[in-house]
Amino acid sequence: MLLGALKLKLQLVCGDGYALGPGKADLLDAIAREGSISGAGRALGMSYRRAWVLVDEMNRCFTERLVDTAPGGGKGGGARLTERGRAMLAAYRDLEGAAAQLAEHPSYATLMTALREEPSTTA
């Protein structure tokens, strides 16, 4: 999220990777909307393989699965967010909203008054 000159990227770390961040949250939204990992990947412009790897990483990082899958695609299969998945997505989106309020903090105003729009050509 970009707030003026402030760019915030919230990521939950799990080992050497990320359990949840903006891209994975978008993927969870797309899975909820599309009902499948492949459909969610297509909607986000990513391959099925990439979407599957991200879902697998999320499922391994949380104490309960965020996404359940069933084989069969349109024949009763697909993917859906679990109750835990819906809760973690809602909590992440809530945290994003709270972070956006940092632009109202006095320290943000102090930083912005001293920040140039472009770097100076001299040091």
> What is the rounded CA–CA span in Å between residue 28 and residue 23?
9
Amino acid 96: pLDDT: 92
Amino acid 13: pLDDT: 97
Amino acid 67: pLDDT: 98
Question: For the chain, which residues score pLDDT lower than 50?
Answer: none
> Which CATH number is associated with domain 18-99?
1.10.10.10
Whole-model pTM: value is 0.84
87 close to 100: Cβ distance less than 8 angstroms: no
Amino acid 53: pLDDT: 97
Amino acid 3: pLDDT: 54
Amino acid 115: pLDDT: 84
10 Å CB burial of residue 78 (0-12, 13-18, 19+) is buried
